[in-house]
Amino acid sequence: MKTTAVLLDAPRSLGLAELALTEPKENDIVIEIDRSGISTGTEKLFWTGDMPPFPGSGYPLVPGYEATGEVVEAPRHVSLRPGQRVFVPGAACYEGAHGLFGGSARRIVTDAARVTPVDAALGAEGALLALAATARHAIAGQGNRMPELIIGHGVLGRLLARLTIAAGSPPPVVWDIDPARQAGAEGYDVIHPDTDERRDYGCIFDASGRSDLLDTWIGRLARGGEVVLAGFYAAPLQFAFPPAFMREARLRIAAEWQPADMTATRALVESGALSLAGLITHTRPAAEAAEAYETAFSDPACLKMILDWSQVA
pLDDT band at 80 (very low <50, low <70, confident <90, very high): very high
Angstrom distances, CA of residue 97 to CA of 18, 21, 60: 11, 10, 5
- What CATH number has the domain bearing residue 184? 3.40.50.720
Q: Which domain holds residue 286?
A: 2-117+281-308
Cβ atoms < 10 Å from Cβ of 132: 27
Answer yes or no: are the C-beta atoms of 59 and 10 closer than 8 Å: yes
| Per-residue pLDDT reduced to its tens digit, 265-274 | 999 999 999 9
How many structural domains comprise the chain? 2
From 205, 223, 76, 197, select the one nearest 150 (Cα to Cα).
Answer: 205
- How far is residue 308's CA from residue 273's CA, in Å, rounded to a whole number? 27
102 and 36, same structural domain?
A: yes
- pLDDT tens digits, 7-38: 999 999 999 999 999 999 999 999 999 999 99
Query: What mean pLDDT value characterizes the chain?
Result: 95
Q: Does residue 32 sit in the same domain as residue 108?
A: yes
- pLDDT of 129: 96
Label residue 246 exposed, middle or buried (CB < 10 Å: 0-12, 13-18, 19+).
exposed
Q: Is residue 268 part of a domain?
A: no
Residue 237's identity, in one-letter code, is L
Alpha helices in the chain (DSSP H): 42-48, 129-139, 155-166, 214-218, 241-247, 259-271, 289-298
pLDDT in tens, 34-51: 999 999 988 999 999 888
Q: Does 20 share its domain with 106? A: yes
For residues 14 and 108, state if they share a domain.
Answer: yes
Query: Does residue 75 sit in the same domain as residue 141?
Result: no
In a domain, 259, yes or no: no
What CATH number has the domain bearing residue 53? 3.90.180.10
Q: What is the pTM of this model?
A: 0.94
pLDDT > 90 fraction of the chain, expressed in percent and rounded = 89
Q: Is residue 240 part of a domain?
A: yes
Based on the fold, state whether residues 185 and 213 are members of the same structural domain: yes
Per DSSP, 141 falls in state: S
232 part of a folded domain: yes
Q: How far apart are CA 209 and CA 207, in angstroms?
A: 6
Lowest mean pLDDT among 8-12, 141-145, 185-189, 295-299: 141-145
E-strand stretches of 11-100: 13-20, 28-38, 67-73, 85-88
The whole-angstrom distance between residue 31's C-alpha and the CA centroid of its chain comes to: 21
Same domain, 246 and 288: no
pLDDT at 51: 86
263 within domain boundaries: no
Q: Please check the confidence at residue 235 and state whether its pLDDT lies above 90.
A: no
Q: Are 6 and 106 within one domain?
A: yes
142 shares its domain with 203: yes
**Coil/strand/helix, residue 29:** strand
**In the prediction, which pLDDT does 53 show?**
77
Residue 243, pLDDT above cutoff 80? yes
What is the model's pLDDT at position 271? 95
pLDDT, position 100: 72
Q: How far apart are CA 116 and CA 84, in angstroms?
A: 10
Does residue 142 have a pLDDT over 80? no
* Residues 14, 110 within the same domain: yes
Does residue 128 belong to any structural domain of this protein? no
Q: Average the pLDDT over 153-176 and give the result.
A: 97
Identity at 258, one-letter amino acid code: Q
- 146 lies in the same domain as 247: yes
Q: Per-residue pLDDT tens for 107-126?
A: 999 999 999 999 999 999 99
In the structure, what pLDDT confidence band is assigned to residue 55 with cuts at 50, 70 and 90?
A: confident
Rounded to a whole number of angstroms, the CA Rg of the chain reads: 20
pLDDT at 99: 77
User: Quick one: DSSP state of residue 277?
Assistant: T
Q: Does residue 269 lie in a domain region?
A: no
Helices (H), 25-181: 42-48, 129-139, 155-166
- Are 242 and 142 members of one domain? yes
Residue at 183 is within a domain: yes
Mean pLDDT of 277-289: 97
Q: What is the pLDDT of residue 56?
A: 72
Count CB atoms within 10 A of the CB of residue 143: 5
Predicted local confidence at residue 98, as pLDDT: 85
186-214 pLDDT tens trace: 999 999 999 999 999 999 999 999 989 99
* For range 240-262, the mean pLDDT: 95
Query: What is the number of alpha carbons within 13 Å of residue 162 lying toward its C-beta?
Result: 26
